[in-house]
Structure 1
Amino acid sequence: MSTIGTTAIQTTTAPNSLVMNPTSMLVEMKSFIPSSYTFETEIQKIKQELLTCNLDCSAKDETNEQYLYEMEDIIDHLPKLPEIQQQKLTIPEFDEIEVKPTDSVEIKKFIRKVNYEFLGFHCNHKVMDKDCDMVYKNVSDIYKSEEFKTYDNFVSLVAECVWQIRDKDRRGKVWNKQIKPATL
């Protein structure tokens, strides 16, 4: 997994293949030492749970538990971000079939046609590569857009609410706040 700018890119086993996973782009899990476990690390973990529909909604207080289910429900109703995969074209390499002077006109014509198609002269690979790169750039631009940042901020806000609910529940209190749209 590598990061280019703010875009997380996972290289798969296939050569020339890239996978852009929106969940990993929303959740910036950094490796951490247990002694340096921070609030931000906890929020990132909760975001991961929310985005993968894996939130533990159990709580001591029934009201807090209901709030946790509501937070999970809020995220479940957001539009899902698709995982985008791009694979560079692998251009097969063929040896040119040699036309011999002894070949008939029809055979020469056939060999020229086969060479033309097999060697890829009929298809402009540079244009196709450029188009693939443009798709990747456009997808990458989406993840840098204001809309994506708003989506990310909203998921972070819900994750903070989950943290607050769990914190209140640990202390035997009921969470009584609400998500305020103005805080986005």
Structure 2
Amino acid sequence: MKRFLFCFQIFTISILGACDSNFDQCSHDLKYLSGGNKPVIAITGKDNSVKDSCQYLIDFNYWFKDNAVSRKGSLLIHNDAFYVRLKESQSGFVRYFDFTKKAHDAYEVEMLVDGKKYVIKIIVEEVVVKNNQQYHVFRFIDSFEFKNNRTDTIIIASLNKGILGSYFTYNRNGVNIMLMPEGELLDDMIDYSNVEKRNLN
């Protein structure tokens, strides 16, 4: 037991030490969002309960088939990724937004919520670059329900800027439908010519 605790402490110190050594990178231009017009996962501020410069507060929303999750949580920047941990969840930090992935890469995230393990499937839709800054467009598969139809969630994020914007999407007759766009969607960088915006009703 003592050996386990010692190993855990070493692991924790190694993560926090890496963040502390990159304080400027972790805090650089990270955007906080509150009130309306927030993405489905939104960084709302700095987590002052810890000294780690890389940890932030988030509002997290995800619609599993049998569980609509809307909770507060924490986001940790480490090793070219955003790690997410939810309050009242049995999971620790999980590697959620992986900025080492390239366009069209797919990966999965396992998260334990309310005693049940869920597998979240993610595809990097595209990676766009502006002024030497990379922005990843993440597609979360089958993650929202609209009129009894399952849809995907698009979230735009940057390792140095944070989580910018989101919307729900599905394809109908060759047209990509966009629902509930929130935040910044980088209209000057991403081609939305084949996207039709619709309101939820």
TM (normalized to structure 2)? 0.21
More strand by share: 2
TM (normalized to structure 1)? 0.22
Higher relative contact order structure (alpha carbons within 8 Å, sequence separation ≥ 6): 1
